């Protein structure tokens, strides 16, 4: 079902998403500039950009195992964290000059400490992130951001002025705007790009300099506007989940004949639905963006209702026939999300399938079988069978 | 005319009758255990209050430990923890089988699964309000989130206390702010105004309780240990967290515990005639611990001298001003209540507690149960290994669900421990 492209932009995005390291990173590094690893999406990457460094969302795509993480973690720890730690110990992420993390989940907060002890990246910074969303929490997080900014300045001997911050925010907003444009195309009856490819484009943004990314994405959009749409698909599907960084799981779902046209994923629509305010003081804008504005993940208490509505709203806007929600085993944060979503989507008559998938997809049989059965059910309902 | 049964009360009537029967049997016994009798009476009184609130539309809350229950107590608002009765009555119910049929992922903590099941199945009455706990684990927060998504509880007004992650002055002050916002929520919800003098009384009573608990713990440092495995932890936790805070009956019960242990201590007698080894159970105690403690004592002459649930280095709360009381409550609930103490924030407290307990209580080996819910602690295992190596104490790392005895069946547990003890010449192999 792949659409044809003249340029190699999409291929480049795919390659970037499929590997921890990519050409742009290497070039960046070669030019003597720094790379800061970010643990998850609550890190205000704009501050890093404003410091003249590259924010890199930590990933372990292509990891071969977890053996080297076993002295620090056990089988009840999430696969993402174990693979990532293993990659770290192997030196595969040795290109990062710093690591910044929030206490995103119980696995990640200890991941940070284990990393600090064993891997010892030269610069490390930890920021507690509130567990609920409110004005007081945004204020507390703003203080954390100020500390983070100061520590970056001190460690790397750089100056992060408000002007630089504003510029960085505008740059990242531009990325989000372009990505939303990409998503708009998926609303078409015959979207010009598969769900797996969109995911690759989204994931790639987290490991490239934003200027280069924006140029490439602009190029890709131009091609997509004139390109042919995909028509040989059965159902329109939406995927919901956390920080899944491997487009392969969408590819597997789409291999069953459907097209993934929308999502609520950490690297997906939740990351681009809103922009950071440019009219207020930058650190306040960033804190408010993360605590109050952007669609939250289940990490933030009391947000299910909005998130469920968000899912339904997107499902309607992108005219999806069904929703597949995915969770990594042992992830408590996404556990009840599935349960809550089951009830909510049932109430609204939206077909729904829940899947537990491994961080590194070694076997895909189960996903295929279950997706196929799900698609058949939807198709049966659609055709009154 | 038949009146509609109130959701959740059927179970509570069952609990009430069971407590009454147990108490009556104990009273008839020639040698009733006074501490247990007092404990069950407190449980009965608590359940009767819940029933009264639900039947007569009196306000009551769903809460969890670490939410400064001293405040509700001072306001005279009754509260329940959804899971406490489920745990206390686990052996009389089929709740464990029930959680298997539930759609909650089975890789979560048994306590969480029970909590979700209880609200889903209507095994607890619907409260007037809920104070949600967002620490120390991810699962707590999402469990509370699941409740507000439940049809029966969806209209229950709630307030969630956002915990600070660190333990500095600013962090406690932030939590004081959260406590103030909680008080405003409660006043608004119930129309009851917090009487600060009453809060002072409640806190002073709890200060007394924690002092006695601490004395009790100090005696356990003695070799041989004058108290049994997990003894004070189970009771102390229940009466400090699940019974109305500052209940004088709980203070009396702490005194009984202390007196009982003190009598053996003064006579230089241990709980066991011959104590071979002393264990630190580096976690909470759950529903699996009673048979484990008994077996260790009988089979190996080994006492679990300390665990995280019983290790409660509570500090005295200064009751001189409103601010000092709230600050004390912030510290107590963020940094002292077991489990929150060791699981919230960074790994240091967990490791420091292990080191301190091993040294102070002359521990021979550490059991790390690897509770399936404690993802943070499982990711702390490298730190723990290193600490035990430096202390020179053997460490046994298990994987179990401390609230579900089926996860690591007793025969497997005993087999693992036998091998471990034999290797390290502990217990009966000493
Ligand atoms: S998938 Fe869940 S458990 Fe794993 S790192 Fe992400 S939030 Fe944490
Ligand atoms: S026992 Fe541990 S995992 Fe379970 S709810 Fe309590 S803190 Fe969370």
Please check the confidence at residue A28 and state whether its pLDDT lies above 60: yes
Distance (Å, rounded) from C-alpha A276 to C-alpha A289?
6
In a domain, B359, yes or no: no
How many other CB atoms are found less than 10 A from the CB of residue A319? 13
Structure tokens at B93: 């119910």
Ligand showing the shortest atom-to-Cα distance for residue A244: 1
In a domain, B3, yes or no: no
Distance (Å, rounded) from C-alpha B23 to C-alpha B32?
10
- Note whether B242 contacts A: Cβ–Cβ < 8 A: no
* Cα→Cα distances B429→B280, B357, B368, Å: 18, 24, 21
Which of A74, A110, A111 is facing B370, going by the closest CB pair?
A: A74
Mutate to test the interface with B, among A68, A69, A76, A143 (most CBs of B within 10 A): A76
When the pLDDT of each residue in chain A is averaged and rounded to a whole number, the result is 95
Query: B404 CA to middle of ligand 2, Å?
Result: 13
Question: With an 8 Å Cβ cutoff, are A336 and B142 in contact?
Answer: yes
Ligand 1 proximity of A105 Cβ (cutoff 6 Å):
yes
| Residue among B233, B339, B369, B401 to mutate when testing ligand 2 (max atoms within 8 A of CB) | B339
Distance (Å, rounded) from C-alpha B171 to C-alpha A212?
41
Ligand 2 proximity of B182 Cβ (cutoff 6 Å):
no
The band of A6, judged by pLDDT with boundaries at 50, 70 and 90, is: confident
Phi, psi for residue B306 in degrees, rounded to 5? -150, 155
Give the A:B interface size as CB pairs under 8 Å: 143
Query: B374 CA to middle of ligand 2, Å?
Result: 6
Output the DSSP codes for A178-232. HHHHHHHHTTSSS-SS-HHHHHHHHHHGGGS-HHHHHHHHHHHHHHHHHSPPP--
Please check the confidence at residue B46 and state whether its pLDDT lies above 60: yes
Q: What is the pLDDT of residue A385?
A: 52
- Residue B68: helix, strand or coil by DSSP? coil
| Residue among B63, B66, B112, B401 to mutate when testing ligand 2 (max atoms within 8 A of CB) | B112
User: How far is A132 from chain B, CA to nearest CA, in Å?
Assistant: 6
Phi, psi for residue B413 in degrees, rounded to 5? -60, -50
User: How far is A380 from chain B, CA to nearest CA, in Å?
Assistant: 25
- Note whether A68 contacts B: Cβ–Cβ < 8 A: no
Of the ranges A1-5, A360-364, B195-199, B213-217, which one carries the lowest mean pLDDT score?
A1-5
Average pLDDT over residues A93-113: 97
Query: B354 CA to middle of ligand 1, Å?
Result: 27
The 10s digit of each residue's pLDDT in B94-138 is 999 999 988 899 999 999 999 999 999 999 999 999 999 899 999
In a domain, B15, yes or no: yes
- Note whether B379 contacts A: Cβ–Cβ < 8 A: yes
Q: What is the pLDDT of residue B415?
A: 98
DSSP conformation class of A99: E
Q: Where in the sequence is the domain holding B181, given as residue range(s)?
A: 9-192
Q: Which residues of B touch A340 (CB under 8 A)?
A: 145-146, 149
Q: What is the pLDDT of residue B1?
A: 53
State the CATH number of the domain containing residue B88. Answer: 3.40.50.11890
Share of chain B above pLDDT 70, in %: 100
The domains of chain A, with CATH numbers, are 24-161 (3.40.50.11890)
Asked if A204 and A16 touch (Cβ cutoff 8 Å), the reply is yes
- Note whether B352 contacts A: Cβ–Cβ < 8 A: no
The residue whose two tokens read 């404003």 is A50
Residue B343 CA: nearest ligand 2 atom is 7
Q: Which residues of B touch A333 (CB under 8 A)?
A: 138, 141-142
Please check the confidence at residue A305 and state whether its pLDDT lies above 70: yes
Ligand 1 proximity of A108 Cβ (cutoff 6 Å):
yes
The 10s digit of each residue's pLDDT in B148-162 is 999 999 999 999 999
The 10s digit of each residue's pLDDT in B280-310 is 999 999 999 999 999 999 999 999 999 999 9
Please check the confidence at residue A384 and state whether its pLDDT lies above 70: no
Peptide bond into B224 cis (omega under 30): yes
User: Is ipTM strictly over 0.90?
Assistant: yes
The band of B201, judged by pLDDT with boundaries at 50, 70 and 90, is: very high
The 10s digit of each residue's pLDDT in A206-240 is 999 999 999 999 999 999 999 889 999 999 999 99
Share of chain A above pLDDT 90, in %: 94
User: How far is B151 from chain A, CA to nearest CA, in Å?
Assistant: 10
In a domain, B380, yes or no: no
Q: What total number of domains does chain B contain?
A: 1
Asked if B353 and B359 touch (Cβ cutoff 8 Å), the reply is no
Residue B373 CA: nearest ligand 2 atom is 3
Average pLDDT over residues B383-403: 98
In a domain, B283, yes or no: no
Distance (Å, rounded) from C-alpha B271 to C-alpha A226?
83
The band of B4, judged by pLDDT with boundaries at 50, 70 and 90, is: confident
The band of A35, judged by pLDDT with boundaries at 50, 70 and 90, is: very high
Which of B148, B161, B61 has its CA nearest to residue A302?
Answer: B148
Q: Regarding predicted confidence, which is higher, A227 or B419?
A: B419
Mutate to test the interface with A, among B104, B138, B166, B396 (most CBs of A within 10 A): B138
- Note whether B214 contacts A: Cβ–Cβ < 8 A: no
Please check the confidence at residue A105 and state whether its pLDDT lies above 80: yes
The 10s digit of each residue's pLDDT in A170-179 is 999 999 999 9
Query: A359 CA to middle of ligand 2, Å?
Result: 24
> What is the pTM assigned to this prediction?
0.96
The band of A168, judged by pLDDT with boundaries at 50, 70 and 90, is: very high
In a domain, B394, yes or no: no
Ligand 1 proximity of A241 Cβ (cutoff 6 Å):
no
Structure tokens at B420: 């471990």
The band of A380, judged by pLDDT with boundaries at 50, 70 and 90, is: confident
- Residue A259: helix, strand or coil by DSSP? strand
| Residue among A40, A66, A105, A360 to mutate when testing ligand 1 (max atoms within 8 A of CB) | A105
E-assigned strand segments in A217-265: 236-240, 259-264
Mutate to test the interface with B, among A335, A347, A358 (most CBs of B within 10 A): A335
Q: Residue whose CA is closest, atom 8 of ligand 1?
A: A105
Which of A251, A270, A273, A248 has its CA nearest to residue A260?
Answer: A251
DSSP conformation class of B314: P
The residue whose two tokens read 């192997």 is A90
- Note whether B376 contacts A: Cβ–Cβ < 8 A: yes
Q: What is the pLDDT of residue B242?
A: 86
Question: With an 8 Å Cβ cutoff, are B378 and A78 in contact?
Answer: no
User: How far is B347 from chain A, CA to nearest CA, in Å?
Assistant: 7
Q: Minimal Cα distance from A341: which residue of B?
A: B149
Q: Residue whose CA is closest, atom 4 of ligand 1?
A: A78
Task: Kindly tell me the burial class for residue B313, based on how many C-beta atoms sit within 10 Å of its own C-beta (0-12, 13-18, 19 or more).
Answer: middle
User: How far is A106 from chain B, CA to nearest CA, in Å?
Assistant: 5
In a domain, B120, yes or no: yes
In a domain, B80, yes or no: yes
Q: What is the pLDDT of residue B339?
A: 86
Asked if A230 and A194 touch (Cβ cutoff 8 Å), the reply is yes
The 10s digit of each residue's pLDDT in A315-353 is 999 999 999 999 999 999 999 998 899 999 999 999 999
* Cα→Cα distances A79→A118, A206, A329, A365, Å: 19, 20, 8, 19
Question: With an 8 Å Cβ cutoff, are A339 and B103 in contact?
Answer: yes
Question: With an 8 Å Cβ cutoff, are B370 and A340 in contact?
Answer: no
The 10s digit of each residue's pLDDT in A264-284 is 999 999 999 999 999 999 999
Interface of A with B in 91-120 (CB under 8 A): 103, 105-107, 109-111, 113-114, 117-118
Q: Which residues of A touch B372 (CB under 8 A)?
A: 76
The residue whose two tokens read 């501490």 is B35
When the pLDDT of each residue in chain B is averaged and rounded to a whole number, the result is 96
Which of A75, A114, A327 is facing B382, going by the closest CB pair?
A: A114
Structure tokens at A193: 């790009």
The 10s digit of each residue's pLDDT in B308-325 is 999 977 899 999 999 999
């Amino acid at each position: 079902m792949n659409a044809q492209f003249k340029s190699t932009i999409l291929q480049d995005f795919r390659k970037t998403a499929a590997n921890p390291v990519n050409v742009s990173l290497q070039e960046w590094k070669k030019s003597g500039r720094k790379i800061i690893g970010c643990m998850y999406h609550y890190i205000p990457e704009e501050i890093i950009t404003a410091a003249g460094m590259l924010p890199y969302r930590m990933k372990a795509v292509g990891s071969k195992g977890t053996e080297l993480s076993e002295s620090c973690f056990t089988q009840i720890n999430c696969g993402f964290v174990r693979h990532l730690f293993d990659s770290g110990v192997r030196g595969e992420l040795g290109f990062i000059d710093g690591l910044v993390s929030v206490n995103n989940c119980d696995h990640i907060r200890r991941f940070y400490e284990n990393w600090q002890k064993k891997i010892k990246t030269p610069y490390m910074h930890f920021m507690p992130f509130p567990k609920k969303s409110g004005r007081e929490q945004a204020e507390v997080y703003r203080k954390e951001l100020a500390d983070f900014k100061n520590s970056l300045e001190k460690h790397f001997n750089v100056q992060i002025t408000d002007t630089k911050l504003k510029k960085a925010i505008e740059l990242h907003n531009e990325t989000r705007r372009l990505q939303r444009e990409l998503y708009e195309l998926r609303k078409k009856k015959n979207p010009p790009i598969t769900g797996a490819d969109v995911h690759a484009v989204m994931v790639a943004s987290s490991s490239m300099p934003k200027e280069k990314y924006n140029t490439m994405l602009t190029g890709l959009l131009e091609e997509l506007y004139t390109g042919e749409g995909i028509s040989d698909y059965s159902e329109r599907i939406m995927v919901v989940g956390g920080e899944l960084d491997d487009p392969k799981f969408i590819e597997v779902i789409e291999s069953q004949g459907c097209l993934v046209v929308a999502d609520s994923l950490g690297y997906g629509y939740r990351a681009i639905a809103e922009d950071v305010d440019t009219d207020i003081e930058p650190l306040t804008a960033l804190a408010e963006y993360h605590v109050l504005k952007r669609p939250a993940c289940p990490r933030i208490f009391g947000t299910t209702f909005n998130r469920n509505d968000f899912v339904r709203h997107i499902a309607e806007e992108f005219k999806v026939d069904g929703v597949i929600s995915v969770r990594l085993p042992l992830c408590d944060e996404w556990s009840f999300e599935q349960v809550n979503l089951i009830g909510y989507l049932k109430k609204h008559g939206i077909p729904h399938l829940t899947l537990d998938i491994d961080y590194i997809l070694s076997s895909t049989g189960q996903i295929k079988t279950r997706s196929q059965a799900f698609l058949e059910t939807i198709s049966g309902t659609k055709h009154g069978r | 005319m038949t009146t509609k049964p109130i959701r959740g009360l059927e179970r509570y009537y069952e609990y009430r009758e069971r407590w009454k029967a147990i108490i009556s049997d104990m009273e008839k016994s020639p040698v009733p255990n006074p501490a247990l009798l007092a404990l069950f009476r407190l449980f009965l009184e608590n359940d009767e209050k819940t029933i009264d609130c639900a039947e007569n539309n009196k306000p009551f809350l769903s809460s969890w430990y670490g939410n400064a229950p001293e405040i509700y107590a001072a306001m005279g608002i009754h509260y329940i923890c959804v899971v406490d009765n489920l745990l206390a009555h686990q052996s009389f119910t089929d709740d464990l089988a029930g959680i298997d049929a539930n759609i909650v992922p089975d890789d979560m903590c048994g306590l969480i699964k029970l909590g979700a099941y209880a609200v889903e199945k209507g095994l607890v009455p619907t409260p007037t309000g809920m104070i949600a706990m967002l620490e120390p684990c991810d699962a707590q927060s999402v469990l509370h989130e699941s409740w507000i998504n439940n049809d029966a509880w969806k209209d229950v007004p709630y307030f969630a206390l956002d915990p600070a992650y660190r333990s500095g002055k600013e962090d406690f002050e932030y939590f004081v702010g959260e406590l103030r916002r909680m008080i405003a929520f409660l006043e608004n919800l119930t129309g009851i105004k917090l009487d600060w003098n009453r809060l002072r009384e409640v806190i002073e009573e709890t200060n007394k309780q924690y002092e006695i608990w601490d004395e009790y713990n100090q005696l356990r440092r003695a070799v041989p240990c004058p108290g049994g495995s997990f003894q004070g932890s189970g009771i102390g936790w229940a009466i400090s967290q699940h019974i109305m805070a500052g209940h004088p009956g709980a203070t009396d019960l702490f005194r009984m515990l202390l007196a009982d242990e003190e009598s053996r201590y003064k006579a230089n007698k241990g709980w066991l005639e011959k104590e071979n080894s002393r264990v630190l159970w580096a976690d909470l105690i759950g529903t699996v611990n009673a048979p484990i403690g008994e077996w260790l004592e009988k089979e190996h002459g080994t006492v679990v001298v300390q665990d995280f649930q019983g290790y409660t280095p509570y500090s005295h709360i200064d009751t001189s001003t409103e601010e000092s009381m709230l600050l004390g409550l912030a510290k107590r609930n963020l940094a002292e209540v077991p489990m929150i103490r060791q699981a919230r924030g960074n790994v240091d407290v967990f490791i420091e507690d292990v080191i301190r307990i091993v040294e102070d209580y002359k521990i021979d080996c550490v059991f790390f149960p690897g509770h399936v819910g404690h993802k943070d602690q499982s990711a702390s295992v490298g730190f723990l290994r290193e600490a035990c190596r430096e202390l020179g104490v053997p460490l046994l790392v298990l994987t179990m669900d401390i609230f579900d005895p089926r996860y690591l069946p007793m025969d497997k547990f005993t087999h693992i421990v036998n091998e471990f003890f034999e290797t390290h010449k502990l217990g009966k192999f000493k």
